[in-house]
Amino acid sequence: MKQKKELTFETAFNIYTRRAKLPLGSGGTGVVYEVEDVEGKSYALKVLNPRVDTKKRKRFKNEISFCSGQTHRNIVQVIEYGLSPSGVGQSPFYVMPLYTGTLRTLMSKRIDAQAVLPLYSQILDGVEAAHLQGVCHRDLKPENILYEPDTNTLVVADFGIASFKEEDLYTAVETSEGERLANFLYSAPEQRARGKEVGSKADIYALGLILNEMFTGEVPQGAGFRRIAAASPDYTYLDEIVDRMIQQDPERRLPSIGDVKEQLITHHNEFISLQKLNRLKTEVVPETTIDDPIVSDPIRLIGADYSDGLLHLKLSQAPNSDWIHRFHDLGTYRSILGKEPSKFAFHGDVAQIPADEGDAPSALIHFKNYLDSTNRDYACNVGIIRERERERRRNELQRSVADEEKRQRILKNLQL
């Protein structure tokens, strides 16, 4: 009997072979298989159903475009993509890392209460990174959050119905009135109504449901649901945060993932970190990352010239006023008379100092030493300023929460 040929998927640079006939998962728009490449390495491959309409194909293209350029550890990365022949045409597919579980499988084994928030913070990081890049997921649920037990890592996946603000980078897809977005159990009220705008607040709503479920095993629906205080009394304060995330009116929810994080930070969850887009808006990084251009790329001497009694020293970039001030006020240095740091003048990316044939070489050597010392001093000061500001914000948030808790205690004891 003739053996049936294995199902393969070919990209420009690799060939992937399906490892098992049964898929890892399937839905209305596609199927996910476990595959291996020509070197025997395992991956997951998502292939679009060839019968889907043009709108779903555009959404699939957007998903590939967004995830192909990802470097964030909590967003799934598309490694390669291609077209696979099918009985009714060609089906686009993409290849991604293989994860052995999901948040759903993790929750089915019950997560220890102390481990919930460190895991949840990874989900927040992934969703916040998408939001900072102008992308709203709109279909967050435990099945779409993949888990790798070897590294204890959670990644947000399945951006199939996400909305993208950068329409110049992605294919514009119009969401028609009444179009069903997201799994009903985790969908926000505005996703269940016709003609409502669905944005990042829908993700915050779903994240509130997921936080409660990670502690209690139940998704809040209506009144009387099991609250976190009943399951884990040490984390009672989370109930108020969940309440603010799952408000029926989107305008009454916490405005952003950053606000959710700040609420958690006020309760001394120091492992949670805020994020931002870097200076070039090309990558999401922790807020504590210093992306000052001089710290990232310290000023270097790249050229020298001499004319009209002046030594002209070309720099790799123009220093700012603070850097120049620190250069002129160096505390400890060795110099020759008349060539102290304060004697150098700066004009854009050029430093100048009067010199003659005899002392120009020595002036250049000393300038390089001044340069190194100033770069170190400047970077240290920037770090101190950032840390002070971070500490000030945290203290301010903690005072705000303490004041509100005091207010609630007083109101609770008042009898009219």
Residues marked as catalytic: 139
Residue 77 in contact with residue 70, Cβ under 8 Å? yes
Question: From CA 319, how far away is CA 298, in angstroms rounded?
Answer: 10
Distance CA 77, CA 335 (A): 53
> What gap in Å lies between CA 371 and CA 351, rounded to an integer?
11
Kindly list the distances between the CA atom of residue 409 and the CA atoms of 199, 264, 267, 414, in Å, as whole numbers in the listed order: 35, 20, 17, 9
Which among 79, 129, 126, 59 is positioned nearest to 282, based on CA atoms?
A: 129
The residues, ordered by sequence, that sit 6+ positions from 67 with a Cβ below 8 Å of its Cβ are 75, 76, 77, 78, 94, 96, 159
Residues in the chain, how many? Answer: 416
Residue with tokens 């993509």: 81
In this structure, which amino acid lies at residue 286? P
**In this structure, what are the phi and psi dihedrals at residue 154, rounded to the nearest 5 degrees?**
-110, 140
∠ CA 293-132-202 to the nearest 5 degrees? 170
Contact assessment for residue 378 and residue 329, using Cβ atoms and an 8 Å cutoff: no
| Radius of gyration over every alpha carbon of the chain, rounded to an integer in angstroms | 28
Q: Pull the structure tokens for residue 244.
A: 């603010």
